[in-house]
Every structure is written in C-alpha cells, then in structure tokens.
Amino acid sequence: MLTTLFENQLVLGAAQALAALAAAGLVVLVARWRAVHLWREMWVAMVRGLTQVVVVGLALVTIFNGPLWLGIPLLMLMMTAGGVIAARRVTGVPGMLRVTLVTISLSSGIVIIVMTLVGVIEKDLTSIIPIGSMLIAGSMNTATLALERFKSELESHTGQIEAGLSLGASARSVVEPYVRQAVQASLIPVGNSIRSLGIVWIPGLMAGMILSGVDPVYAAVYQFVLMVMIFCSSGLTALLCTALASRQVFTPADQLRVRQEIH
C-alpha cells in the first residue's frame, strides 16, 4: 500500500519507518497492559537505532570508497561501542566494561583478521566493514547474555558458592558449573540461527548476493560460512568474558566480591 502512495524513496522510507514504529508502539502498549514497562527502553533504542543507521548509511558511500586502512579505526570504534553497550546491561558487577571491551575486541578481532588473511573475507572495505560489524554485533549480544546469566547464577547460588569456598575449594572451581551454564545459554541464539538457516530465516546477505547475480549455491554457502564465523566469534566471546568475569567477581583471597553489590 505504501509503495503505491509514495514515489519518492525518502518519503516512502519515512512512511515505512512510521508504520514499523506504530507496530512497535502497539507491542509496548500490550506489554504495559501486562505491567511490563518497555516505553523508555524502546523509545531510546528506536531513536538511537534509526539515527545511527541513517548516519552510517550516508557515511558508507564515502567509507566504501576510502583506503583499506580506514577499516581498522572503524572496526575499533564498533568494538568499543559494542563493549560499552554490553557492559551497561550488566549492572552491579565491578569491572565489566574492561571485560566486555577486551572480550569483544579480541574475539571478533581474531576472527576478522584470520578470515581476512585466509581469504574468506575479501580485503575490501565493502566486505570487511559489513561482515566485521556482524561479527562484532554477535559478540556484543553473546557477551551481554553470558554476563547477565553468570550474574544471575551468582545471585541465586551465593550460599553454595560460599559453602564451597569455606570447604577449601578455589574460586575457579566453585564457579565452574555457573560459567558452563552461562556459556551454553549465551550461545543458544547463534545455535538457533545456524540450525534454522534457510528454513525459518532467509538471511539478508544471501538474498542480496542472489539478487546481485551471484551463483545461488555460492551465496548460500557463503551465508553459512558467515554464520560459522559468527559462531566462532561468539563462542570465543562467551568463553573469554565468563573467564575474565569469574576472576573479577572474587578478591585475590577468593572472597566473593560481588556479595555486597548484589545483596
């Protein structure tokens, strides 16, 4: 309907954004009816998301024509933003910003560098930036899920953790089961994405490649490769951030540092 009403792409885009926002507003109203307050969260996320994506969309034209080295500061900027966003989600545990910054940068950075060196990601800003951003976003989401779950496991098992410590167990040993659960839980979304690839979810990258004339089989395989790269980066993130966080929540004398913060 909208496509027949508006010919100008900018006006059409604005109308489509308004329609999508109206649908999101309905969801917020339904949530409010169930005493779940999403308004502030949604409002901030939507405005930020729209502004950021429009600015980046405009900038991408210039960026894609720029020199290859420009990819490094841009990816670093994305990693930093991802680290800050992930850390903000995990409140009450000290030192989480450092954990998320180190984790997201290292895990997505390693996958981007290795895959670019072996030729899976083309040495071209048009490949490095969009694929890098997908890996960084995957790492950011995984870090948030892993740290949230780890924190909630600590909160609900404080008694058992301290019982273990008082029996002479090391901090590493007492949190091991909770680290395992946090890692497994944080990788559920990426696992589901790979499992549902092509059945529940037809990814944009693959669709775009097919539309631009690439062999459909190659496009499909490349999409799978991308998902595996996201899994690698997310898996590294989950392992690394829980390892760093579990050191962060104990003092050097193996005392549960977060006890005061979470109770």
Partner 1 sequence: MDNQPILETLELSRIVGGVAIVDRVTITVQRGDVLAVLGPSGAGKTSFLRLLNRLDEPTSGEVLVGGRDYREILPDKLRRSLGMVMQQPNLFPGTVADNISYGPAQRGEVMQTQEIEALLERVNLAGFLSRDVAHLSGGEAQRVSLARTLANNPQVLLLDEPTAALDDDSRQDIEDLVMEIIQAQGLTCVLVTHASSQALKMAGRALVMEQGRVIRTGSVAEVLDVDHTL
Nearer to partner 1, 62 or 251 (CB): 251
**Beta carbon of residue 255, minimum distance to partner 1 (angstroms, whole number):** 6
Nearer to partner 1, 16 or 156 (CB): 156
Nearer to partner 1, 57 or 159 (CB): 159
**Beta carbon of residue 197, minimum distance to partner 1 (angstroms, whole number):** 35
Q: Rounded distance, CA 8 to CA 11, Å? A: 5
Nearer to partner 1, 73 or 159 (CB): 159
Give how far Cα 138 sits from Cα of 19, 236, 250, Å: 27, 11, 28
Q: Rounded distance, CA 100 to CA 183, Å? A: 14
**Beta carbon of residue 175, minimum distance to partner 1 (angstroms, whole number):** 13
Hey, what are 23's tokens? 């649908």
Nearer to partner 1, 57 or 252 (CB): 252
Q: Rounded distance, CA 244 to CA 231, Å? A: 20
Residue 252 CA to its chain's centroid (Å):
31
**Beta carbon of residue 261, minimum distance to partner 1 (angstroms, whole number):** 11
Residues that bind partner 1 (CB under 8 A): 159-160, 162-170, 173, 251, 253-256, 260
Give how far Cα 170 sits from Cα of 7, 175, 253, 254, Å: 67, 9, 10, 7
**Beta carbon of residue 74, minimum distance to partner 1 (angstroms, whole number):** 44
* Under 8 Å between Cβ of 145 and 242: no
